[in-house]
Amino acid sequence: MNEFMFISGLPRTGSTLLSSILSQNPKLYSEGNSGVCQLMWDMQQSCLLNIDEQLAANGREFTQIDLISSIPKIYYKGLDNKVIFDKCRSWTFPKNTELIKKYITSTPKIIVLERPLQEIVASFVALRRANNFVGNLEDGLLDNLSEPIVRSLIGVNWAKQNNNGEFLFVSYDDLTLNTQSTIKKIYSFCELEPFEHDFDNIINKHKEYDATYGLLGQHDVRPQIGKRDLDVVLSPDTISKCLELQL
């Protein structure tokens, strides 16, 4: 039987690096961005709004629970006896955290990755530039409820204000500059048996097809850990917006 844990937070914060490190442990499994959260949400909405009458009329109130609870198991079919880290930026939203508590585990372990907004935006600008993006490289990144930055930030801020022990916040700097102690902290938070990781030979075993996102290299991982210097100068307006949103 699988045990489920979760990775969430802001984009460009090292989630692919973290997944690659965790996947060195044969008892753990962590791949790219998952559809589990959306699938569970959609099934719940269907049960509550579309087939509620049919379920009630046939005395199948518990069918909703069975259907939604089965989604993570079906999604990760074939990974028996693994601790699975499901990665999705939406897990920090209150209704999605409740999905975990209602259908997966009442005591979730959610790792939330963070990074200063200016660095996140600069990282996206560098990616866009490398992919020959047409137009202003900063356009739309910090628009109201924009994906993936602003909406993710709303979820992270909610989690910070409502943390009852289910969230562990990890900064990009700690993950890249203090990797060993940070992984040890994650293991302790998740109540996992210690494992000797190789931080000088990082391999992404479960690569995402970045062409799907239109940003090649978005989930590349280097063999050796280190914080990249970004040759990006943001506009004063974008810097101001970052500072405003970070508060």
pTM metric for this prediction: 0.95
Residue 134, domain member (yes or no): no
Residue 173, domain member (yes or no): yes
Residue 242, domain member (yes or no): no
At what angle are helices 15-22 and 179-190 packed, to 10 degrees? Answer: 70
Residue 36, domain member (yes or no): yes
Query: Given this model, what pLDDT does residue 226 score?
Result: 85
Q: Are 174 and 112 in contact (CB under 8 A)?
A: no
Nearest CA among 230, 118, 226, 216 for reference residue 179: 226
pLDDT digits (tens, 9 = 90+) for 40-83: 999 999 999 999 999 999 999 899 999 999 999 999 999 988 89
CB atoms within 10 A of CB 153: 22
Specify the 3-state DSSP secondary structure of 170.
Answer: strand
**Domain range for 76:** 3-116+155-226
**pLDDT-based confidence at residue 92 (cuts at 50, 70, 90):** very high
Residue 81, domain member (yes or no): yes
Give the dihedral sign, CA 54/59/61/67.
negative
Whichever domain contains 52, its CATH number is 3.40.50.300
Number of domains present in the structure of the chain: 1
